[in-house]
Amino acid sequence: MNPKSSFSYERFFDLTPDLVCVAGYDGYFKKINPSVCQLLEYSEEELYSRPINEFIHPEDRPITQVKRKNLQAAKPLINFENRYLTKSGKTVWLSWTSWPIPDQEVVFAIAKEVTQKKKLETKREDLLKSLSEKNEELRQLTYITAHDLRAPVSSILSVFELLDLDKIEDQETADLIQLIKRSTLGLKENLNKYLHLIAEKDNSSTKEELLNFSEVFHQVLVAIQPLIQSSEAILEADFTQSPEIHYNRLYLESIFLNLISNSIKYRQEGITPQVKIKTDRLKGRTVLSVKDNGQGMDLAQVEGKLFGKNQTFHQHPDSKGIGLYLISKHISSAGGKIQVESEIGKGSTFTITF
């Protein structure tokens, strides 16, 4: 007996813990396994009778509709995350991998629940944000304390200068006053040291040096090589017009890292990501441009928010709204500016004038 003939694919469909379904181009479920009913808390009849869109979290419906159109255009969907609402009102996160079958006008999809992972990510981000804020508060408190204590310390030292120790007959008292004066002088010196160390640490983060664009660029490429390889991205770089710049190394690395990784992360499905980086000299200033063929953006919708903190405009799981914010801060702190040209479906070009 052929073992293949006795194997029940229907049983595999029913027993798998993953959510497996067949959806029609009309937006309705055509077939679902028991895991879908168990997670969403609806019966098969309820899930079959209502449009899939009704079970999706309202905030995620627009991006899901975009992905659905891509599927109908024969573009597979890999690791797309969105939220669904259960019958009892709970929000669950699902990560979808879907394949369209155009001749039958259906989509075969498998999903894994990633609610716990998303909660952990959110908790981690909240903790990091809180830690960062606390560190900044402590830094400011240290600076203020060291700075403001110098005034009363200086006042105490002024009092010592007014004292005439020759008029103090008790030698033990005179020695005690001298001891207090030396201790106060030591306190002032320590406060000055703390202020110097704080200022030195702040300045070290903005220290500028002569940098070679190509050298920094290739150093960043090493860090994101796995991302480049997995996406098969094509990168072209031309720094001949302006090969060097006096700038902070950490800032330039961050600019390259964020712009290149964003270009790859927000690529168009089914299209090999291409990123073109070049430098120019315009009106005596160095200009860096990073152009991609990615998803692009509607600039009218993101106007005034693009470089804001925690602003996200794509549903990529790694979108945190920090990269462009950091780039903007790096550039503005050094007196430069950043501009963007973008169109949905045609990619984006970021231009930095140092």
Give the domain CATH number at 226.
Answer: 3.30.565.10
Phi, psi of 206 (to 5 degrees): -115, 15
User: Residues near 213 by Cβ (< 8 Å), separated by ≥ 6?
Assistant: 239, 242, 243, 244, 245, 252, 279, 288
Rounded average pLDDT over 3-24: 75
The predicted model gives 77-103 an average pLDDT of 92
**Looking at the structure, do residues 188 and 245 belong to the same domain, yes or no?**
no
The rounded distance, in Å, linking the Cα atoms of 324 and 310 is: 9
Q: By residue range, what is the domain housing residue 278?
A: 209-353
Tell me the pLDDT tens digit for each residue of 33-86.
999 999 999 999 999 999 999 999 999 999 999 998 988 888 888 889 999 999
Task: Check whether residue 142 and residue 252 sit in a common domain.
Answer: no
What is the C-alpha to C-alpha distance for residues 184 and 57, in angstroms, rounded to an integer? 64
Per-residue model confidence (pLDDT) at position 49? 93
115-148 and 171-204 helices, crossing angle to 10°: 140
pTM passes above 0.85: no
Same domain, yes or no: 340 and 239: yes
pLDDT for 159 beyond 90: no
Q: Are residues 181 and 217 in the same domain?
A: no
User: Do 235 and 324 share a structural domain?
Assistant: yes
Pair 339, 230: CB distance under 8 Å: no
Residue 194 near residue 142 (C-beta atoms within 8 A): yes
Last residue of a domain, one of 145, 175, 204: 204
Q: 133 or 233: which carries more pLDDT confidence?
A: 233
**334 and 234, same structural domain?**
yes
Domain boundary among 113, 142, 168: 113
User: Amino acid identity of 221?
Assistant: L
Domain boundary among 184, 204, 224: 204
**Tally of helices (H runs) and strands (E runs) in the chain:** 13, 12
Helix or strand or coil: residue 39? helix
Number of domains the chain is built from: 3
Shared domain for 81 and 136, answered yes or no, is: no
Phi then psi for residue 193, to 5 deg, are: -65, -45
Same domain, 191 and 316: no
